[in-house]
Amino acid sequence: MSRGSDISAGSRLNYTGDFLAGRLRANLPEGDLEYIESLVTQERCLTDREVLLRRGQLANQSAILVEGFMFRTMDTCDRRFIVGVHVPGDFVDLHSFALKRLDHSLVASGNVRVGLANHSRLELAMRERPSVARAMWFATLLDAAIHRKWIQMLEQLDAPQRIAHIYCELQTRLGVIGRPVSRALRMPFTQLDLADMCGVSAVHANRAVSKLRETGLAEIRRGTLYTNDWPGLQRYAQFDAAYLYGEGPLKRNESWD
């Protein structure tokens, strides 16, 4: 089963503030970012495919993704489905705090570092700082908005477009937390991961990757996406960043005004 976990405890962890709670930053009053950071009293490292929290497990702490990427997965006997991807700065299992048991599992994609906050401290934090409670609610709302976009994506797009859309979304979300846009978007995904995100077979994911390569818009090699034409790729995927409510460094996209 999952191995390689590494828990290092410290009463005070030192974050830069650059990406921790990245998606919350713009909505936080003065001092709240530091306050949220102070809730994180432990760190844990995971390796590729290691499970942070399994569906149905009880949790007494919640995790914020500090470095790396994670999947939300729902599994059946013979297949895994990825229903969401997370980038640094995301609270990945905040709902384990309110719902007690998760309806899905949280799995590392590549090497990952998370910060952990005890539920008892979160409980206290939400009571004594309404603005923090609000920020967490906002994070949940943004997750829901991303979920809705995935639903539309699955309803509307074919496999190559879905893959393009996923990379466009990740590129934008990484931009929000301050990662520079470059020609190469480095992701630890296999084609099977892409297949499980798109709801297609591994063989068809390979066909989709090939088709993207043929169009000349993007080339995906071992998870890393190379492109010289981000605008073209976004058009191809019918990607519109408005649903990400681009707080942070990214300009709010007012395309629906």
Partner DNA sequence: TCAGAAAGATAACATCGGTCAATAGACCCG
Partner DNA sequence: CGGGTCTATTGACCGATGTTATCTTTCTGA
x-or-dash string of contact with DNA, 182-221, rule CB under 7 A: --------xxx------xxxxxx-xxxxx-----------
Pair 157, 198: CB distance under 8 Å:
no
Buried (b) or exposed (e) across 71-106, using 16+ Cβ within 10 A?
Answer: bbbeeeeeeeebbbbbbbbbbbbbbbbeeeebebbb
Closer to DNA by Cβ: residue 63 or 220: 220
**Quick one: which of 147, 183, 186, 222 contacts a second copy (CB under 8 A)?**
147
Distance CA(165)–CA(85), nearest Å, equals: 13
x-or-dash string of contact with DNA, 228-257, rule CB under 7 A: ------------------------------
Pair 107, 51: CB distance under 8 Å:
yes
Window 140 to 179, contacts with DNA (CB under 7 A)? 158-160
Strand segments (E) across 54-169: 61-75, 80-86, 105-118
Q: Which two tokens stand for residue 231?
A: 């605008």
Binding of residue 83 to DNA (CB under 7 A)? no
Pair 108, 56: CB distance under 8 Å:
no
Phi-psi bin for 238: left (phi > 0), alpha (psi -120 to 50), beta? Answer: left
Binding of residue 226 to a second copy (CB under 8 A)? no
Q: Report, in Å, the least distance between residue 193 CB and DNA.
A: 8
**Quick one: which of 13, 133, 201, 206 contacts a second copy (CB under 8 A)?**
133
Q: Could you say which of DNA, a second copy, none residue 136 binds, taking C-beta under 5 to 8 angstroms by partner kind?
A: a second copy
Residues that contact DNA, how many (by CB under 7 A): 19
Distance CA(157)–CA(169), nearest Å, equals: 14
Report CA 139 to chain centroid distance, whole Å.
Answer: 12
Please report, as ranges, the residues that interact with a second copy according to CB under 8 A. Answer: 55-56, 72, 74, 76, 79, 81, 83-84, 95, 98-99, 101, 103-104, 126-127, 130, 133-134, 136-138, 140-141, 143-145, 147-152, 154-156, 196, 198-199, 238, 242-243, 245, 256-257
Please report, as ranges, the residues that interact with DNA according to CB under 7 A. Answer: 158-160, 190-192, 199-204, 206-210, 222-223
